[in-house]
């Protein structure tokens, strides 16, 4: 959870909402922020291809080797850490045109899928939805998450 929240902080989010719930009998965790969203590609869409292919390639690691102080995280695993929480990850972020795009990752599967997500109104920031929550995570209380 800390890795996912840290990603929101790095995206300059002012508000981060963590929700633990159940939908259609399946437990989930959601981290939603109002930050800058996923970096855009040349077409102005969230560059999910870059995200999916640059796990463990952290700019913070390079900055630390240049002497930059006060940075947290250096291994580029913030998003990949979802597999310690659940089975499926849906990452949603809007493009420059306001349309919402979604990347789907599945634990143990090296592939990823990108789709357009129907939305009435564009929302700023990023939403990380993790479904198929692992048994030990289902028992987290609000006090433990804080």
State CA 9 to chain mean position distance: 11
The CATH number assigned to the domain holding 16 equals 3.30.565.10
Q: What is the pTM of this model?
A: 0.77
What helix, strand, coil percent values describe the chain, rounded to 5? 25, 30, 45
How many domains does the chain fold into? 1
**In what order do the strands lie in the sheet containing 100-106?**
16-23, 26-33, 126-131, 88-94, 100-106, 109-117
Domain interval for residue 108: 2-145
pLDDT digits (tens, 9 = 90+) for 106-145: 988 888 999 998 877 778 899 999 999 888 766 655 544 4
């Amino acid at each position: 959870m800390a890795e996912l929240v840290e990603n929101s902080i790095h995206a300059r989010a002012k508000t981060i909402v963590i929700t633990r719930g159940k939908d259609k009998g399946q437990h989930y965790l959601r981290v939603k922020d109002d930050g800058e969203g996923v970096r855009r590609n040349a077409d102005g869409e969230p560059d999910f291809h870059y995200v999916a292919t640059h796990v463990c390639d952290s700019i913070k690691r390079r900055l630390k080797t240049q002497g930059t102080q006060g940075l947290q995280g250096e291994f580029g695993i913030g998003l990949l850490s979802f597999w310690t929480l659940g089975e499926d990850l849906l990452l949603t972020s809007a493009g420059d045109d306001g349309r919402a795009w979604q990347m789907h990752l599945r634990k143990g599967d090296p592939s990823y899928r990108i789709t357009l997500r129907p939305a009435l109104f564009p929302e700023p920031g990023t939403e990380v939805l993790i479904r198929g929550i692992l048994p030990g995570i289902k028992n987290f209380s609000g006090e433990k998450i804080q």
